[in-house]
Chain A
Amino acid sequence: MPFMVAFALMVAVPLIYAGYLSLFKKQLIGGVSFVGMDNYARALTDPSFLGGVGRMALFLVIQVPVMLALSLLFALILDSGMLRLQKFIRLGVFLPYAIPSVIATLMWGYLYGKDFGPFAQLAKSLGLPAPDFLAGGNVLFSIMNIVTWGFVGYNMIVMYAALRSIPAELYEAARVDGASEWRVAWSIKIPAIKGALLLTAIFSVIGSFQLFNEPNLLRVIAPAAIGQDYTPNMYAFQLSFVNQDANYAAAIAFLLGIVIMAVSYGVQLSANRKERAA
């Protein structure tokens, strides 16, 4: 019951209200008028929105597999017990997640700096040209780096917890058959934590489409590379608070939600299909 109340207030009501708003249009001269699905039609042909979604899809396709692979690798290494100082390493990999993303982005913004950032200074001292992490073509990868750095630890913990719950008898059986540690990892551990892998994959998918903090903060120092419509969330924010076009922003937010649902569903379907085939 308390869940239903919280859900209704925090999720259902704003959703319904936003849906209601998206059917109207408000003009500075002329006030509010009902326009039905016009806002949605406009969004589907809006290069700012489509560009943002495309960018996030690219982000997703590169960053999520890289991050999850790294998390899986760290989780497997930790679980195999091959390392000393387990607790210390676990904490160290997890620490970036504990840093608020705003602070992390500001910090990375400084690190990426072309004139005074440490990488640039290092390059200069070696006589090389300073790498421009915030140039138009590079900035998406720079953001991918920040997000990966921040979330590898979190996903690693999720996978590690799943690995810890695998019954030890499976390992004994494998070792009796003469399997090496890598073989054990590949054939036993990874299939056993499929559920956790799917979970982290879906959360990462949802997260990439909703990217807001990192590009919004970096925009201050790289305004030519990152426009106000770099991601759909930034575009909705811009529309709502600067253009005073809250109705169109509601339509954008809804469409983004639909895109996220579709992609998440797709990820889940393909995972289930693989499971049935295997």
Chain B
Amino acid sequence: MSREISRRSILAAFPLAALSVSALTACGGGSSSAAGGASSPVSQADIDAAMKRDTKLTFWTWVPDIQKEVDMFQAKYPAVKVEVVNVGQGGAHYQKLRAAIQAGKGAPDVVQMEFDKLPSFTLTDNLLDLTPYGIGDLKSDYPAWVWAGVTPGSKGIYGVPQDTGPMGMLYREDLFTAAGITVPRTWDDFAAAVSTYRGKNASSMLVNWAPSSEANMLGLFWQAGGRPFSYDGTKNVKINLTGDAACKKVTSFWNDLFRSGNIGNEPDFADAWYQGLNNGKYAAWLTGAWGPVFLQGTAKSTAGKWRAAPLPQWDPSKPASGNYGGSTDAVLKSSENPIAAAMLARFVNTDDKAALTLANEQFLFPPSTKTLKNPAFADAAASFYGGQKVNQQFTDIASTVQEGFQFLPFNDYAASSYDKTMGKAIGDRGDLNAALSAWQDDLVQYAKGQGFTVAS
């Protein structure tokens, strides 16, 4: 009897108890601790001194096997002890991070921070500006669009780039050949290929596009030249989806595809989807540069049959791509050891050996030009892809990503709002164009409610 009460009243207490943790700072206003980083450049002497002091750092990240790079760091700086903690992937990681920041304790020193989440943490002023710690020297090693990702509003450097996800197309060569399709070079070719393929296959489709796909869709908007969002670092945001010609074009294109019933619309990264990839339910996957290795891990039974190619293009004379995913390592302002933390973030991602290990053994697509050009990375041929030099293919794609795309400083909300509007239309095969409008309206309403000045 009491067990039923306890189970159900735990459910009752849950929102309240959780709220009391998350809102402890709603009153406090998230006041930062004594640590706040330096405001003027820190001298090399200070850095050396700090790295020789006994320090303990906490590093929250979900990159598999990152201990390898951390061990290299600890070998070079034995006085600094690093504790690596995986608090969850994606959404769960950020929820815990916010809870720890708001509670004022338990927050790590260094944290994995995806590019599209970075602005929401600079908005609430939780990240340390890394400029005084010499991170600015790294600028020339990254393409402009990657560096722009860690310098939102050009007001400081808030992360060290770790990996990116320039978008390409992975496809099953055997299924394409069987259906008589060549690799589509333009989006018109792609639409034609979708129908042709479906005509020849009763139980298989050219491609799937998930309902919960905000980051993926933004990558396609990016490719088409869309720039729907911007944030100036203070209180002005621009939200312009329906007025942006490129975003409208892409939405309309996919609307037609979904309505035709010839492409899949099931959730990705779920059991049924993995099974589908394994048994040929989908012949292609439009994904980021982390996709090839991901596929190797999840679709083992189809080894040797996949190939990589650039995304279909709107204008083949001006090849372009967008970015889907990718992370940085950032330092929290509340860290009590800002110098050591900044050095950890820097080392793990830019030390030659560490960066190459991340690329070759953990298969993160490297953002830095130096690593991309390193033959040990570029020449790697994958048997899963029939011996194709997939890294080189994605490096070529990476060079076609244009700069200037920004994310809103409340990307969590933008993604969940997408799920409610665009995602629902995808799942129901409803009107995606109307959904774009609904998404726009919802975002504008949220932004205004949160005190932003919204421009379009």
Q: Which residues does A use to contact B, with CB under 8 Å?
A: 10-11, 13-15, 17-18, 21, 24, 26-32, 110, 113-116, 136, 154, 158, 199, 203, 206-207, 210, 212-213, 220-221, 223-225, 227-228, 233, 236-238, 240-244, 246-247, 249-250, 252-253, 257
B214 at the interface (CB under 8 A from A): no
Instruction: Jot down 18 A-B pairs with beta carbons below 8 A, ordered by A.
Output: A10-B17, A14-B17, A24-B27, A27-B451, A30-B451, A32-B29, A203-B4, A221-B267, A221-B270, A223-B211, A224-B423, A227-B419, A233-B11, A233-B15, A240-B18, A240-B22, A241-B22, A244-B412
Other contacts beyond A29-B452, A114-B272, A253-B19: 20, CB < 8 A = A17-B16, A21-B19, A27-B450, A27-B451, A29-B451, A32-B27, A113-B272, A116-B272, A203-B8, A207-B4, A210-B11, A212-B11, A224-B428, A228-B419, A237-B15, A237-B18, A240-B19, A246-B23, A250-B19, A250-B23
Q: Which of B15, B211, B275, B451 contacts A253 (CB 8 A)?
A: B15
Q: Shortest Cβ distance from A224 into chain B, in angstroms?
A: 2
Query: Which residues of A sit under 8 angstroms from B123, Cβ to Cβ?
Result: 28
* Contact between chains at A11 and B426 (CB < 8 Å): no
B418-456 interface bits toward A, Cβ cutoff 8 Å, 1 = contact, 0 = none: 011001101110000000000000000010011110000
Q: Shortest Cβ distance from A137 into chain B, in angstroms?
A: 12
* Contact between chains at A220 and B267 (CB < 8 Å): yes
B5 at the interface (CB under 8 A from A): yes
B63 at the interface (CB under 8 A from A): no
B85 at the interface (CB under 8 A from A): no
Query: Which residues of B sit under 8 angstroms from A11, Cβ to Cβ?
Result: 13
B12 at the interface (CB under 8 A from A): yes
* Contact between chains at A26 and B26 (CB < 8 Å): yes
What CA separation (Å) do A203 and B267 show in the bound complex? 35
Q: Shortest Cβ distance from A240 into chain B, in angstroms?
A: 6
| A250 to B, closest residue via Cβ | B19
* Contact between chains at A227 and B267 (CB < 8 Å): no
B373 at the interface (CB under 8 A from A): no
Q: Which of B211, B272, B409, B413 contacts A243 (CB 8 A)?
A: B413
Query: Which residues of B sit under 8 angstroms from A246, Cβ to Cβ?
Result: 19, 22-23, 26
B53 at the interface (CB under 8 A from A): no
What CA separation (Å) do A143 and B19 show in the bound complex? 26
Interface of B is mostly: helix
Q: Shortest Cβ distance from B148 into chain A, in angstroms?
A: 22
Q: Which of B16, B276, B416, B428 contacts A115 (CB 8 A)?
A: B276
A14 with B5: in contact, given A221-B272, A228-B419, A247-B26 (CB under 8 Å)?
A: no
* Contact between chains at A223 and B212 (CB < 8 Å): yes
* Contact between chains at A210 and B19 (CB < 8 Å): no
B410 at the interface (CB under 8 A from A): yes
Q: Shortest Cβ distance from B204 into chain A, in angstroms?
A: 12
Q: Which of A154, A244, A249 contacts B15 (CB 8 A)?
A: A249
Query: Which residues of B sit under 8 angstroms from A158, Cβ to Cβ?
Result: 1
* Contact between chains at B428 and A220 (CB < 8 Å): no
A-B contact count (CB 8 A): 144
B260 at the interface (CB under 8 A from A): no
* Contact between chains at A15 and B271 (CB < 8 Å): no
Query: Which residues of A sit under 8 angstroms from B353, Cβ to Cβ?
Result: none
Q: Shortest Cβ distance from A142 into chain B, in angstroms?
A: 16
What CA separation (Å) do A73 and B20 show in the bound complex? 43
Q: Which of B19, B91, B275, B413 has the most A CB atoms < 10 Å from its CB?
A: B19
B275-303 interface bits toward A, Cβ cutoff 8 Å, 1 = contact, 0 = none: 11000000000000000000000000000
Query: Which residues of A sit under 8 angstroms from B27, Cβ to Cβ?
Result: 24, 32
* Contact between chains at B416 and A243 (CB < 8 Å): yes
What CA separation (Å) do A197 and B1 show in the bound complex? 12
B140 at the interface (CB under 8 A from A): no
| B8 to A, closest residue via Cβ | A207
* Contact between chains at A17 and B20 (CB < 8 Å): yes
What CA separation (Å) do A17 and B18 show in the bound complex? 11
* Contact between chains at A15 and B426 (CB < 8 Å): no
B383 at the interface (CB under 8 A from A): no
* Contact between chains at A242 and B412 (CB < 8 Å): yes
Q: Shortest Cβ distance from A206 into chain B, in angstroms?
A: 6
| B426 to A, closest residue via Cβ | A224
Q: Which of A199, A223, A244 contacts B1 (CB 8 A)?
A: A199
What CA separation (Å) do A242 and B29 show in the bound complex? 18
What CA separation (Å) do A9 and B428 show in the bound complex? 46
* Contact between chains at A115 and B272 (CB < 8 Å): yes
Query: Which residues of B sit under 8 angstroms from A220, Cβ to Cβ?
Result: 267, 270
A14 with B420: in contact, given A27-B450, A233-B11 (CB under 8 Å)?
A: no
Query: Which residues of B sit under 8 angstroms from A221, Cβ to Cβ?
Result: 267, 270-272
The 7 closest A-B pairs by CB, nearest first: A224-B427, A29-B451, A30-B451, A27-B451, A246-B23, A28-B450, A14-B16
A18 with B20: in contact, given A206-B8, A249-B15 (CB under 8 Å)?
A: yes
What CA separation (Å) do A257 and B9 show in the bound complex? 11
B189-227 interface bits toward A, Cβ cutoff 8 Å, 1 = contact, 0 = none: 000000000000000000000011000000000000000
B76 at the interface (CB under 8 A from A): no
Q: Which of B15, B27, B272 has the most A CB atoms < 10 Å from its CB?
A: B15
* Contact between chains at A28 and B124 (CB < 8 Å): yes
Q: Shortest Cβ distance from B185 into chain A, in angstroms?
A: 32
Q: Shortest Cβ distance from A87 into chain B, in angstroms?
A: 20
Q: Shortest Cβ distance from A92 into chain B, in angstroms?
A: 19
